[in-house]
Amino acid sequence: MKRLARIVVALIVVAGLVVAGWAARGVIQTPAEASLPEPTPIAVFTDVTSGPISTRLTGSGTIQTSESTSVVASTSAGRAVISDTPVEVGEALPLCSAAIEISGRPIIALEGVVVSYRDLGPGMTGDDVEQLQVALEACGYPLVTDGVFGAQTASAVRELYESAGYDPPTRPATPENTGPGDDPEAADNSAEEPDAGDSAPQAPQREVYVPFNEIAYLDSSGVVSQVAGVNSVVGADPVLTVDHGALTFRAELTGAARVAITTDATMRIDIGSGVEVAVPDLPTAPTTNGAGEPVFPLVVPLADDTDATLAGTTASYTITVSDGVTYETVVPITALYDSAAGETFVRLRDPDGGSTPVPVTVTASAGGLAAIDGDIASGDSVQVGWQ
């Protein structure tokens, strides 16, 4: 036991020597180190300025569209699957093009507000026919928008599908589907008439038509925010969601931020190189966000030429709040010192590089700056610290 005790004591002594050695390294200096002079602190000065002082409120929000349209595919009997997605999430969906492909057939996006609800073909009339004609005309196919599906409309439909890379849909022609409409000589709506002298059996006549489930009407182009994956089986859920309409920037303000914002506040949203916008009228009462917190919604309309693909993205903002007063003498708050007697003063730079305390009164402060009164002028230099 005595031997064990001696070993333990020896180990403690060794450990103590090691610790003492490390401590000595931090205290003991070499002769060269000891001969070096102590560094002299250097005062740091900045200029007194004039102008407004302001508070900056920063945060982030999202860019959203005013509308969102979901496309639910209506299919005939049998298994239908997504066979192609020409436009991916985050990409712009241009009108007059295929938005998605189901079992080899497209759903084409056109401009309009009334949902497609019936097949349209030659001889048919109605507001939905006129909407189709207006949409085709917007795609660049000139025709009469008279609400009657005639040869001109059929020709435009054919060109629309071919431009999108698909065969135009056809169905057997029936006598009741022929009737008045746009100029019948402007397009070939059916197969050629059989030669009267040809006694061979003729193929059934077919006509171009528009299946209701191959058209999706949107009131404007937009950005795809959701799309079903290729090989997904089509069901009751939307196969595609398009965000469209006017873009807005949306954020949530705390109660303290809402109180701080005045009518002359300016706002910058970090989109591209930055966008300066006016701060909109803010609500006087809070709402509750998803986390159950009281917030004040901030909704800022964006310019019409804002990139539509920004929908769904996040952007930061800066709101600058100023009281509109131009102050004669403004300094950083780091230039203010308090004396033992409770006086506030600044250290005015002397010609020899030193400084002299000058009593001042703070009249306003915000955003790290203070407006002061005292025996001091704009252009003077005051100390803000040491280095």
Identify the domain boundary among 322, 338, 364: 322
Q: What is the CATH number of the domain that holds 258?
A: 2.40.30.170
Rounded to whole angstroms, the Cα distance separating 300 from 289 reads 18
Q: Is position 28 within any domain?
A: no
365-382 pLDDT per residue, tens: 888 899 999 999 999 999
Q: Verify that 108 and 231 share a domain, yes or no.
A: yes
Q: Is position 200 within any domain?
A: no
Its sign, for the CA torsion 83, 89, 90, 95, is: positive
Query: Count of domains in the chain?
Result: 3
Q: Verify that 210 and 134 share a domain, yes or no.
A: yes
Q: Verify that 277 and 367 share a domain, yes or no.
A: no
Q: Verify that 272 and 312 share a domain, yes or no.
A: yes
Q: Verify that 230 and 356 share a domain, yes or no.
A: no
Q: Verify that 98 and 219 share a domain, yes or no.
A: yes
State how far the alpha carbon of 128 is from the alpha carbons of 59, 96, 161, in Å.
46, 17, 19
The pLDDT assigned to 6 comes to 57
Q: Is position 15 within any domain?
A: no
Least confident of 20-34, 54-68, 297-311: 20-34
Q: Verify that 182 and 131 share a domain, yes or no.
A: yes
Rounded to whole angstroms, the Cα distance separating 318 from 171 reads 59
Q: Verify that 225 and 139 share a domain, yes or no.
A: yes
Q: Verify that 89 and 154 share a domain, yes or no.
A: yes
DSSP 77: S
Beta bridge partners of 355: 349
Which range of residues forms the domain containing residue 356?
A: 44-53+325-386
The pLDDT assigned to 353 comes to 85
The predicted model gives 247-267 an average pLDDT of: 90
The pLDDT assigned to 366 comes to 83
Q: What is the CATH number of the domain that holds 336?
A: 2.40.420.20
Q: Is position 113 within any domain?
A: yes
331-361 pLDDT per residue, tens: 999 999 998 888 999 999 999 989 999 999 9
Q: Is position 120 within any domain?
A: yes
Q: Verify that 333 and 315 share a domain, yes or no.
A: no
Residue 222: which of 62, 68, 63 has the closest Cα? 68
CA angle (57 as vertex; 55, 58 as ends), nearest 5:
145
Q: Is position 212 within any domain?
A: yes
Rounded to whole angstroms, the Cα distance separating 108 from 210 reads 11
Identify the domain boundary among 300, 322, 344: 322
pLDDT at 177 over 90: no
Q: Verify that 235 and 352 share a domain, yes or no.
A: no
Least confident of 26-40, 94-108, 243-257, 286-300: 26-40
Q: What is the DSSP string of 1-51?
A: -HHHHHHHHHHHHHHHHHHHHHHHHHH---HHHHTSPPPPP-EEEEE-EEE
Q: Is position 194 within any domain?
A: no
Q: Which tops the pLDDT comparison, 26 or 289?
A: 289
Q: What is the mean pLDDT of the chain?
A: 86
Q: Verify that 372 and 348 share a domain, yes or no.
A: yes
Identify the domain boundary among 284, 300, 322: 322
Q: Is position 295 within any domain?
A: yes
Q: Are 361 and 372 in contact (CB under 8 A)?
A: yes
- Residue 381 φ/ψ, nearest 5 degrees: -120, 130
